[in-house]
Structure 1
Amino acid sequence: MTEKFVEILSIPFIDSNMDEFVNKIIYPRIMNQDKTFVVTANPEIVEYANDHQDYKDIILSADYITPDGVGIIMASKWLNQPLQERITGFDLMNELFQVADRKALKIYLLGAEEDVIEAAALKVKRQYPGIDLVGYHHGYIDIKDASLAMSIAELEPDIILTALGFPRQEKWVSKHYPLFKKGVFMGVGGSFDVLAGKVNRAPVFWQKMRLEWLYRLIQQPSRWKRMLALPRFVFKVKRLRKKVQRS
């Protein structure tokens, strides 16, 4: 299939919907054992990438960057290149779990606190008995240490989910990618906390009102500094829109 990308503040996002992305792009790559690096990027990640060239280089090395965050979808509309829909890390993770459950795929979970990753792994085993969960490990690691990555690579997982938070999760993938012969690699931020029940995801009403970010901020007030990236992102996109309109 022909893949289309939309560039927002120099970051190219895949223009797809969840069903198409999972079943027509990612699943065939898993079956072909093509190594695949997926980044789910929200405005915070775009802002951080544009402020840190080393991280931006890693992001741009990914095979696919999906629009995680309503701010990305809104920005695409402002720039008259509307993306089809939001593809969040949490939702994509769950879609991959369903595929893995049907096809008995191997999955490895890396990240979060020890009690959280154990609870998340237990939930995966209970909810998706067809998955071959080959291992899991907490996120309190030296991301430069290759020993853990080598032990994971020996298990030959089909899907490796890293919940180390950005930029660490993408840096871990980039650093150790060459050690693996196959696998879909994706950073999922705080998704294991939600999976384990430690943090609640915003109810559907909040999501539909595009206020999921506010719900998360209420639950985790310590995120307020990170949220400052959103108004900066909006300002830059609107400034870019004016340039596009004038040209």
Structure 2
Amino acid sequence: MTEKYVEILSIPFIDSTMDEFINQMIYPRLMNQEKTFVVTANPEIVEYANEHQDYKDIITSADYITPDGVGIIMASKWLNQPLQERITGFDLMNELFRIADEQALKVYLLGAEEAVIETAAVKVQEKYPGIELVGYNHGYIDIKDECLAKSIAELEPDIILTALGFPRQEKWVSMHYPLFKKGFFMGVGGSFDVLAGKVNRAPVLWQNVRLEWLYRLIQQPSRWKRMLVLPKFVLKVRRKRKRLQRS
């Protein structure tokens, strides 16, 4: 299929449904053992990338950037280039687990607190017995540590999920990508916390009314500073819309 992209504040997002993305783009690459780097981006990541060129270079070098946050979907509509669907890191992670379970793929989990990653690993093995979980490690690491990266590469995982939070998780992938002969790499933020039951994902009702961010903020009030990015993002998108309307 011909891949389509929509640019939101200079970041190119794949324009696809989850079903198309998994079955027509990701699944073939996994089966062909084709190295793949996916970034799931929300408005915070877009803002950070536009303020930090080194990080922007990293994420724009990825094979795909998916629209994780509802703010990205709304921005695409304001710019008259509506993206088809949200493709969240958490949902994509579970789709990857489903494929790995069916195809007996090797998976490695990197990130979160030690107790969280241990619990998450147990939950994954219980729910997806067909997965070969070749290892896991907490996220309190020096991302420049090549020894850990080499030890992971030697396990030859098919899927490597990094829950180090942005920008660390994408920087880790970028630094150590050349060490791996194969592998699907994706940063999953706080998804291991949800897997382990430390944090609850917003109920479907909250997701449907686009208040997933508020539900998470209620659970983790320490995230309030990060929420301040959203008005700035909205303002930039609306300014761009006005420029487009004038041109």
Q: Which residue of structure 2 lines up, in the alignment, with residue 113 of structure 1?
A: 113
**In the alignment, is residue 178 of structure 1 matched against residue 207 of structure 2?**
no
Distance 2:9 2:43 in 1: 10
Aligned pairs for 1:40-189 within 5 A = 40-189=40-189
Q: Secondary structure at the match of 2:109?
A: strand
Q: Which residue of structure 2 lines up, in the alignment, with residue 218 of structure 1?
A: 218
Q: Deviations over 1:48-68 (max 9, x none)?
A: 000111111101110000000
Taking only the aligned residue pairs, the percentage that are identical comes to: 85
Q: Secondary structure at the match of 1:117?
A: helix
The amino acid across from 1:50 in the alignment is N
Q: Which residue of structure 2 lines up, in the alignment, with residue 198 of structure 1?
A: 198
Q: Deviations over 1:20-45 (max 9, x none)?
A: 11111011001111110000000000
Deviation at 1:79, TM superposition (A): 0.5
The amino acid across from 1:66 in the alignment is T
Count of residues in correspondence between the two structures: 247
- Unaligned stretches of 5+ in structure 1? none
Distance 2:153 2:124 in 1: 20
Q: Secondary structure at the match of 1:166?
A: coil
Aligned pairs for 1:7-18 within 5 A = 7-18=7-18
Distance 1:34 1:66 in 2: 19
Distance 2:168 2:89 in 1: 15
Q: Deviations over 1:162-192 (max 9, x none)?
A: 0000000000000000000001100000000
Q: Which residue of structure 1 lines up, in the alignment, with residue 209 of structure 2?
A: 209
Distance 2:37 2:13 in 1: 13
Q: Secondary structure at the match of 1:143?
A: coil
Q: Deviations over 1:102-155 (max 9, x none)?
A: 110110000000000000000000000000111000000000010010000011
Distance 1:202 1:236 in 2: 27
Structure 1 runs, 4 residues or longer, greater than 6 Å off = none
Q: Secondary structure at the match of 1:75?
A: helix
TM normalised by structure 2 equals 0.99
Distance 2:32 2:210 in 1: 37
> What is the Cα-based RMSD across aligned positions, in Å?
0.5
Distance 1:110 1:226 in 2: 23
The amino acid across from 2:60 in the alignment is L
Distance 1:128 1:32 in 2: 22
